[in-house]
Amino acid sequence: MATVIVIYPSGPAFDLEYYLQKHMPLVSSIWGSAGLQSYDVLTFSEGPYQVQAVLKWDNLDSVAAGFSSAGAEQIFGDVKNFTTAEPIVQKGNIAGSG
């Protein structure tokens, strides 16, 4: 299993309602067929980040397929509809869990 973490820095406005009601369902509908299994969204009240999405994928190959798919452009293009913050994206394999 692989995980992609998308984290948004604090400061710029962030429309959480749009993100949860429109953006994440878009992500799920487009990348579900590429191997996205599930996602969680976390919010932070203080600190350097305001929102984080944790996306769980079949493996890193499915992540690569999703990120290079035709629908990826639509997903990344939608970011401007909920924030001007520049997202930080990290991809990796799950090494352990409890």
pLDDT tens-place values along the chain, 98 residues long: 999 999 999 999 999 999 999 999 999 999 999 999 999 999 999 999 999 999 999 999 999 999 999 999 999 999 999 999 999 999 999 899 89
Q: Is 97 within a domain?
A: no
Q: Is 67 within a domain?
A: yes
Measured between alpha carbons, how far is 81 from 93 in angstroms, rounded to an integer? 30
Q: Is 22 within a domain?
A: yes
Do 67 and 20 meet the contact criterion of CB atoms below 8 Å apart? Answer: no
CATH number of the CATH domain containing 23: 3.30.70.100
End-to-end Cα separation, the chain, in angstroms:
14
Q: Which two tokens stand for residue 45?
A: 């009240």
Q: Is 96 within a domain?
A: no
* Chain centre to alpha carbon of residue 69: 15
pTM for this structure?
Answer: 0.93
Q: Is 61 within a domain?
A: yes
What's the pLDDT at 42?
Answer: 99
Q: Is 19 within a domain?
A: yes
Q: Is 36 within a domain?
A: yes
Number of domains in the chain: 1
What DSSP designation does 46 have?
A: S
Residue 17 belongs to domain spanning: 2-90
Residue in this structure with the two tokens 């929102």, named with its chain if needed:
51
